[in-house]
Structure 1
């Protein structure tokens, strides 16, 4: 088997494996499959983690995982798919960061790895065995890569910063409620 075919086959296997994980997790959030909370349960969880508004945050996370996963599986709009999934994983990393690195302790290891793999696929492209190739790579061009990753990075930054502000405001409100005699000057 020529080297280029091995590389294309490797990209296909990596795309399908990554897509399977993303689709499974996204369908938990979106549809309640595989023991997930569905959109309503995910919205409540998102609110409790500081992502507001919860429903819109749940839709965005589910779309990044499910949509990104489906597109990666097909090898269609691969830069958009990789960027969307990586952006969704940035939000997950923000949630898991206080627990450190390792997954067994609830850390960032798993979502960070999944995000890096999705980003790498978005940057590398889908390979020969893909819908992108069949369409002449019209959605897999350098400009698409730049735009997709710029939009994803900007959106993830806004979402994570909004979460930080929400959590800080909640902590301050809780602190004031515990010390009602003290006023801030």
Structure 2
């Protein structure tokens, strides 16, 4: 029994820590909190990175991070929260891939770590010290895990694919203009 409580306590710490980091990043994008730019500057940055249209892309990234992070921290609808955060981080990874793996060179290490952690929590479940447990796992059913992660994977693939195509189109237009 003590082992079960240790695991649940560990999940609580992991959920709250990961969720707080994700929620803070999302709040930067959405509201300009914690030194972030807010929605309009984030939309402009998203456009510059090839995510079009910029405003809906910025809102989706911010909501995936802030909403997914807050829900992870609370342990509520944990599969949906983990899938949403992981999907948002997949988009971030796609931006950082050209710089390689390590964060100090601008690589994808950090968003990949957050994404894998959020996905792991979403798959494993929130544990005993969570709102999912308090609500009888109403929002944490096996079918929710499958649907949430499938939906997130399809959405992330579409967004990343659309961005990649936009970059190819820009390169072709630049080459034709030279």
User: What is the TM-score with the length of structure 1 in the denominator?
Assistant: 0.95
What's the counterpart of residue 146 of structure 2?
A: 146
How far apart in 2 are the matches of 1:44 and 1:72?
Answer: 28
Could you list the structure 1 runs, at least 4 aligned residues long, displaced by more than 3 angstroms after superposition: none
TM-superposed deviation, 1:17: 0.4
Match in the other structure for 1:36: 36
- 1:151-183 CA-to-partner distances (Å, cap 9, x unmatched) read 0000000000000001111111111111xxxxx
**For residue 20 of structure 2, what is the aligned residue in structure 1?**
20
The runs of 5 or more residues in structure 2 that have no matched partner are none
Partner in structure 2 of residue 70 of structure 1: 70
Per the alignment, residue 157 of structure 1 pairs with: 157
Unaligned runs of 5+ in 1: 179-185
What CA deviation, in whole Å up to 9, does each residue of 1:78-133 have, x standing for no partner?
A: 00000000000000000000000000000010000000000000000000000001
Show CA shifts across 1:5-36 (max 9, x none). Answer: 00000000000000111011000000011111
Mapped to 1, the partners of 2:174 and 2:39 lie a distance apart of: 28
Distance 1:50 1:126 in 2: 35
TM-score for the superposition, normalised by structure 2: 0.99
1 CA distance for matches of 2:37 and 2:48?
A: 14
Larger Rg belongs to: 1
State how far apart, in whole Å, the 2-side matches of 1:2 and 1:166 are: 53
What is the number of equivalent residue pairs in this alignment? 178
Match of residue 54 from structure 1: 54
CA RMSD of aligned residues (A): 0.8
Partner residue of 1:88?
Answer: 88
